[in-house]
Amino acid sequence: MLVSRVIGQTVGIAMLETDKLFTGSIPENYDRYMVPLIFEPYAADIARRAAALSPGAVLEIAAGTGVVTRALAPGLSAGARYTVTDLNQPMLDYAASRQTADGRISWRQADAMALPFEDAAFDLVCCQFGAMFFPNRTSAYREARRVLKPGGRFLFNVWDRIEDNVFADDVTNALARMFPGDPPRFLARTPHGYHDKALIRRDVEEAGFSHVVIETRAEQSRASSARVPAVAYCQGTVLRSEIEAREAGKLEAATDYAASAIADRHGSGEVAAKIQAHVIMAEV
């Protein structure tokens, strides 16, 4: 596997700039398919852990389409302040459109690498499956630490290796067969490219955090048919852009091919497979 040194951090396969572009119809498909398929159980877990800390001021970074926001807001106190951010304005707009009106929540486009907030402004910074997209994770973690009050907590999660996330692996392998000369590798490269627990711990500690606890948590991904995970990954992530860049008009064919591969392995009716992630908690 290619290993390179990028801005002071080791990464497996260098993330591409286009890996961060969740635009067009991707946000809607992401929320419709990806969220129930893989994100909801981990959002509930993050929300439970966060609410147990009773934070008065919360910052969520890389909020995506708001699955954690919807899960966490009901568990916060009436006087809490909840700031929700994402780099991608289309994702943030979609998240805001899905959220019940709540005066405690403010929405702001923000780059995790340069947070537009004062020092020591929050009790908790949380992030669901966003750290894999940070160009320099240690720098982003330093930003999270900067905006945390003394004694504040940083709570986030990242996907484990792609082999432990079965539908993602199935789709990646199917597309490698369909495009053997230039296989789309977005899923392995970025969402599942930051899974080494020793590296994660080192990055977090280098950013100045202490008491770093990493827990590996397995869940089940369930869908009504094999086509659901195929659509989720092929049309609800940046994998869509990779497929379309390889051959115009092939998106539906690629989705059908991935669905067929999943059905061959898991059956033609309801399907279920393992998903796995690391949950990290650190203190200022």
Using one digit for the tens of pLDDT, what is the confidence trace for 145-169?
999 999 999 999 999 999 999 999 9
- Dump the DSSP string for 161-181: -GGGSHHHHHHHHHHHHHSTT
Convert the pLDDT of each residue in 74-130 to its tens digit. 999 999 999 999 998 988 999 999 999 999 999 999 999 999 999 999 999 999 999
Q: Please check the confidence at residue 137 and state whether its pLDDT lies above 50.
A: yes
**Cα angle for residues 268, 276, 127 (degrees, 5° grid):** 120
Q: Phi first, then psi: what are they for 57, rounded to 5°?
A: -135, 120
Q: Is residue 95 part of a domain?
A: yes
Q: Is the distance from CB of 162 to CB of 172 less than 8 angstroms?
A: yes
Structure tokens at 214: 């990493």
Convert the pLDDT of each residue in 194-226 to its tens digit. 999 999 999 999 999 999 999 999 999 999 999
Domain count, the chain: 1
Cα 155 off chain centre by: 13
Q: Is residue 250 part of a domain?
A: no
Half-sphere exposure of 199 (CA within 13 A, CB side): 17
Q: Please check the confidence at residue 36 and state whether its pLDDT lies above 60.
A: yes
Q: Please check the confidence at residue 9 and state whether its pLDDT lies above 60.
A: no
Torsion 82-88-91-96 (CA) sign: positive
- Which structural domain range is residue 149 located in? 4-161+186-220+276-283
Q: Is residue 179 part of a domain?
A: no
> Can you give the pLDDT at residue 46?
98
Q: Is residue 66 part of a domain?
A: yes
Structure tokens at 252: 């539906």
d(CA 188, CA 202): 22
Q: Is residue 101 part of a domain?
A: yes
Convert the pLDDT of each residue in 240-255 to its tens digit. 999 999 998 999 999 9
Beta bridge partners of 208: none
Q: Residue 31's CB: how many other CB atoms inside 10 A?
A: 21
What CATH number corresponds to the domain at position 84?
3.40.50.150
Beta bridge partners of 153: 124, 283
- Dump the DSSP string for 141-168: HHHHHHTEEEEEEEEEEEE--GGGSHHH
Q: Is residue 129 part of a domain?
A: yes
Q: Please check the confidence at residue 23 and state whether its pLDDT lies above 50.
A: no
Q: Phi first, then psi: what are they for 219, rounded to 5°?
A: -135, 180
Q: Please check the confidence at residue 22 and state whether its pLDDT lies above 80.
A: no
Mean pLDDT of the chain: 91
pLDDT-derived band at 26, boundaries 50, 70, 90:
low
